[in-house]
Amino acid sequence: MKRNPAYLVRNRMTWQGANLVQQPGPHNALGQIKFEFHNRYGVYLHDTPARSLFGIADRAQSHGCVRVERPIALAEALLRERPGWLWNDIERAIEAGRTQRIDLPRPMPVVLAYWTVFVDDDASAHFRTDVYKKDGSAIGS
């Protein structure tokens, strides 16, 4: 911000009290849908305007939160029990361009699994880089 005084305006950011907030819309770094859930780490699921990131093998392109490839489909599944929240309703809410918080009718458990190896349908093992350095802590546990 010191090097580029127009940074906040260009990125549609404003100060709200002590918080720097990026305005909702298609250019928001979190995309147009954010899924908050209770956890002690401040981690959440979110959409992304950088759709191309889903096509690369190195998925560690975030800072601890989790990008959702099909956020409207997830929102529709989560809101299935809430009348008035079908696919078109969700899209209309996004197009309105303002932040809306929608509580679920009942809590939904969220489980995040961190896997550095998986076996495909052909029974071939695939190993990925342990970007969070967790594999060593699991040995012997």
Quote the Cα angle for 111-132-36, to 5°: 35
Confidence of residue 64 (pLDDT cuts 50, 70, 90): low
Active site residues: 46, 65
Do 38 and 45 form a contact (C-beta atoms < 8 A)? no
Q: What is the mean predicted confidence (pLDDT) over 60-86?
A: 87
pLDDT in tens, 90-110: 999 999 988 888 989 888 999
Residue 140's pLDDT is what?
A: 53
Residue 112's pLDDT is what?
A: 86
Instruction: Tell me the two tokens of residue 19.
Output: 């918080």
Alpha-carbon distance 85 to 99, whole Å? 16
Q: What is the mean predicted confidence (pLDDT) over 8-24?
A: 90
